[in-house]
Amino acid sequence: MNIILSNLKIQVNEKIYVKDPETSPLGKKIVEQSILLIDEIGFDNFTFKKLGEKIGSNESSIYRYFENKHKLLVYLSSWYWSWMEYKLVFATTNILDPSEKLDKAITIVTEKVTDDINTEHINESILNKIIIAEFTKTLQTKEVDQENKEGFFLIYKRLINRIVGFINEVNPEYPFSKSLASTIVVGSLHQHFLTEHLKTITDCNEYVSTTQFYLNLTKNVLR
């Protein structure tokens, strides 16, 4: 997987950016440092001015890559889910047993993320923290229907539907495969959040993982 990923450019819908940040050093710096800054101060407090100061660049230069900070977050999310999709595809390729394949998939999307050294400018571990803390904000806006039409969430929906396919292989009779898949993916983000901030309403902690909870849940639901 490593070799393949190192030669692979994660593709993100062109409508999300003004100029593709992967095509220049400044663009890459914007992506790299925005991840660190959003993690540090939170998306709500994040501004292009602050990012400009952090990277020693002008605010107006950042606007040449992204229309606004919302689009930047959508970009980071798309990148994350696309990267996650690759991990999932490679981890499940050549596995014939449907249950084993589904378990692998659930493990990939629910476990804690470590940095992928093949992507120079992106720290996936920190990006994962941002996704846990901020992902639903990309969806929960008044513009969601318009942005959905423009394909902003295609990669995310494709990832969910890959898991739906695995669920259907395990139990073709189960009538809620889509809801189960979306529950696993977005629910595990929430459980990670609770583990960090509201420990009294989750069982997940350093000893019992979110992955265990969802593996157990899925096994029981589909048997």
Partner DNA sequence: GCAAATATAATAGTATTACTATCAATATTG
Partner DNA sequence: CAATATTGATAGTAATACTATTATATTTGC
List all residues 6 or more positions away from 44 whose beta carbon is below 8 Å from its beta carbon. Answer: none
Locate 211 and state its tokens.
């992955």
Residue 129 Cβ vs DNA, minimum distance, rounded to whole Å: 21
- Can residue 162 be called a binding residue for DNA (CB under 7 A)? no
Q: Cα(71)–Cα(12) distance, rounded to whole angstroms?
A: 12
Of the candidates 11, 40, 42, 49, which one interacts with DNA according to CB under 7 A?
49
Q: Which of residues 28-47 bind DNA (CB under 7 A)?
A: 45, 47
With CB under 7 A as the contact rule, which of the stretches 64-72, 138-146, 183-191, 200-208 interacts with DNA? Answer: 64-72
**195 closest CA partner among 206, 182, 187, 186:** 206
Residue 201 Cβ vs its own copies, minimum distance, rounded to whole Å: 4
Residue 24 touches which of DNA, its own copies, none (Cβ within 5-8 Å per kind): DNA
Residue 149 touches which of its own copies, DNA, none (Cβ within 5-8 Å per kind): none
Please answer whether residues 65 and 107 qualify as being in contact, where contact means their C-beta atoms are separated by less than 8 angstroms. Answer: no
Locate 23 and state its tokens.
């095509």
Q: Cα(85)–Cα(82) distance, rounded to whole angstroms?
A: 5
Residue 27 touches which of its own copies, DNA, none (Cβ within 5-8 Å per kind): DNA
Q: State the CB neighbour count (10 A cutoff) for residue 164.
A: 17
List all residues 6 or more positions away from 36 whose beta carbon is below 8 Å from its beta carbon. Answer: 54, 123, 126
- Can residue 200 be called a binding residue for DNA (CB under 7 A)? no
Kindly list the residues in this chain that would bind its own copies in the complex (CB under 8 A).
41-42, 44-45, 133-134, 136-137, 139-142, 144-145, 148, 153, 157, 160-161, 164, 175-183, 186-187, 190-191, 193-194, 197-198, 200-204, 208, 210, 213, 216-217, 220-221, 223
**Residue 18, amino acid:** V
Please answer whether residues 95 and 104 qualify as being in contact, where contact means their C-beta atoms are separated by less than 8 angstroms. Answer: yes
User: Would you tell me which residues interact with DNA (CB under 7 A)?
Assistant: 19, 24-27, 45, 47-50, 56-61, 63-64, 67-70
